[in-house]
Structure 1
């Protein structure tokens, strides 16, 4: 059991546990990536869900606000609510993941859950048995990877000064879209970037990003990280300072996401 726990920790270090609870504080779905080593682990996680629910209620009554992110000594918790369905997603993860990545994961997990089982309180009210939602285990990996990936790209493309963006995954696939630039051209430029980077590695140098001016209206930025690349099409008439932070934030999130996907597949 000990070595099984160690292997799981190595594969998915960043995620700890996932709980989805209804408005009454009853846990209706559990996914644990790192065994806690308890005699009755499911019972303890259910109890944990009740504690978090009570914490949220107490906070709402005393401050009229509900926590969306809490850091403990070594673990953080991200909370996302769906008021219509009356359910809450609680994701326990490493502090290093940060609140932005944690909330993105929890948000897309909860959205996938309501898309699958309904978005009305009646679907999750009363003494709901967890067996009713076990099918969600098969949907969960997609919600945590492709759905989050699309959300990151959508947020980036919504930034002022950014016309479009594309993401090259570890597998070589491309996600997103850039106006007036085909996927093959982007792929060729990424290949050139990788070749140049490989040539410079022996000299203890490297390329993190390059820019390509494709017209008087647009400039393309290609950020490379590991086997992945983010391509951003930006407007020349908008100051770089308006969008560069959004690009850097997207790169940071995509790095965490690609690491998570690799560990889940491992």
Structure 2
């Protein structure tokens, strides 16, 4: 999709949305790509307001980024969704095509894989996931691409355990569920993916082994988390939430603008500066 014919619009939708770094990342990409007539905004939109927002999208719209609570709610409003998005029933990217169709995709999953690959993590024999929310299902889908063995999910409730088993079956991942109280064991896995809210893993920092392998902590604010800081101090590889945010945004920019490759370095620098200022 060309950005040279007329001004184009894109935006991130969600509720709450004021904290989103997406405008910083996408605008940095537009500047680097010379797309002076492109704009990227943020709108506080909840599930009830989403259909009305979609109804007002004009031909100037190139695409949308979606965050919580809209990733599943948007699906009935779309003309098509990718296999990746369908696998986890979550859409974080909508591309508005020139013929008026709205196509949904999930760039979180390949974004996770790309962020890990950037740190030299191409394949692992087993992995541990801390948490069982929406991000955990995306983590499972990413592990379906790079993990050759068992994934152990550490959860707090029987309902969450059942959900992770269901996602594992659906994604073709061998998932074993363990109680959250056993998370000390998780930290010895070749790859640990923490998908929990801020503060949830702080108590685990003291249990980090002396020679940890790799940690992917999806948080970016505050950063580093106590777990990530201890992990890094012991020499383990650490992938953070900003890495994920930038890599999934790179894929969004490429899909919405038709320009490839998107400027990963400029986008990361803009994100780092925004977090430092915050």
**Do the two structures share a fold, i.e. TM-score over 0.5?**
no
RCO higher in structure (CA 8 A, sep ≥6): 2
TM-score for the superposition, normalised by structure 2? 0.31
Higher helix share: 1
TM-score for the superposition, normalised by structure 1? 0.32
Higher strand share: 1
